[in-house]
Chain A
Amino acid sequence: MPRAQASITAIEATLAVLLVLSVTFAFSLGLPGEDAEAKAQLDTYAADGITLLVNEPPRHGDQTRLAELTASEDSFDREGAALEERVDRILPSNLLYRIETEHGSLGHPLPSGVSTGEATVLTTNGEVTLAVWYA
């Protein structure tokens, strides 16, 4: 029997080393990086923005300003512009936003392929969602 064949032991050792290395490699990939952090920051911005808005006193007869916004289409049209101005004054200038209610939306159109942060509150008349992203 010719002895030119590779040793079985050497082949087994090589396979074992490869196996261990592949497991190690998986660990270096699998942990969340900076993307998750940026998303968490945006979610925090959105939550803070909506917290500030939801505590604003009403401009007319309803319970809060956001409740007035979501009461009806008429009140949405009436309150929209003033609220937009208000949001501009609350959010830092490096953020763009969109506010969504069942009667319509305010602000900038939602971008695609950009990570956004979102927060929703419930008013007596319906839900209001604020989405923010970096300009």
Chain B
Amino acid sequence: MRGQVELPALGLALVLLTMTTVLGVAVVQSVFVDAERPAMERQATVSLSEEFVSADAPLTNRANVLNATRLETVKKADLREMDAHPDDGAVLLEVAGEEIAATGSVTGGTTLERLVLLESVDERVLEPRFTQGRSITLPRRTDSATVSITTGAGTTIRGVSVNDRTVLRNESGLHGTYDLELSALETTRFEFDATGQLQEGDVNITYRPPRVERATLRVTVNA
């Protein structure tokens, strides 16, 4: 007799246990899915940001030093072609708080910031007055300069030397614009070999010192 009384209770217990198990598996499943999505996004942010700042990346001059001119040319298509770009997802690239490019709209997602320096070229012109001899020292180191010589009648510049090395020479006189390659590792001193009186305006030197400012590169991935 007893066994028959237990039968409804057993049925009820089995139903209860089955429901709890199903519920439990559902919860665990959703926890796993939630954990996996940010992990994939995180992986993508790390790889993408590495693709932007590594020393041999197209945008960088050195590791973590971005070329500001090349940065401006980054397009949506460039971003999409990157190796780490998720197939179905959106990526937002920001530098110094400004959006550079985005593939799709990014809301939420996972963000990683990298510290970079933005290197841009500053063009400056120096017009020596030649009141203190015939040499002039550039105030900043630079890797290239353009010397423009427009002497008046009675003055002839026959040679230009940089740090005691002759870089331009013409016995009958130099005239015009000359591009010079310099070393960015040393201070540059120009010396002019001239006959006659050199005056302000006879020579002007355009040089291009790098300008560096700090910035953060932020990659946001929404996959």
- B31 close to A27 (CB less than 8 A): yes
- Whether B185 and A57, one on each chain, are in contact in the complex, defined by CB atoms closer than 8 angstroms, is yes
Known contacts A17-B20, A21-B20; A52 and B65 CB within 8 A of each other: yes
Q: Are A10 and B114 in contact (CB under 8 A)?
A: no
Q: Does A49 interact with chain B (Cβ within 8 Å)?
A: yes
* Number of residue pairs A-B, CB distance < 8 angstroms: 79
For B, the interface residue count at a CB cutoff of 8 angstroms equals: 35
Contacts of B153 in A (CB 8 A): none
For the complex, what is the distance from the CA of A91 to the CA of B62, rounded to whole Å?
17
Whether the pair A90, B117 counts as a contact (CB closer than 8 A) is yes
State the majority secondary structure of interface residues on B: helix
B20 to chain A, nearest CB (A): 5
Among A37-45, A72-80, A102-110, the one that faces the other chain is A37-45
Nearest residue, chain A, Cβ from B214: A90
6 tightest A-B CB contacts, nearest first: A13-B13, A48-B115, A24-B24, A17-B20, A27-B28, A9-B9
Extra contacts, 8 of them, besides A10-B13, A52-B64, A92-B115 (Cβ < 8 A), are: A16-B17, A20-B20, A24-B24, A24-B27, A24-B28, A40-B42, A41-B112, A91-B214
Residues of chain A having any CB pair with chain B under 8 Å:
7-10, 12-13, 16-17, 20-21, 23-24, 27-28, 31, 37, 40-41, 44-45, 48-49, 51-52, 55, 57, 89-92
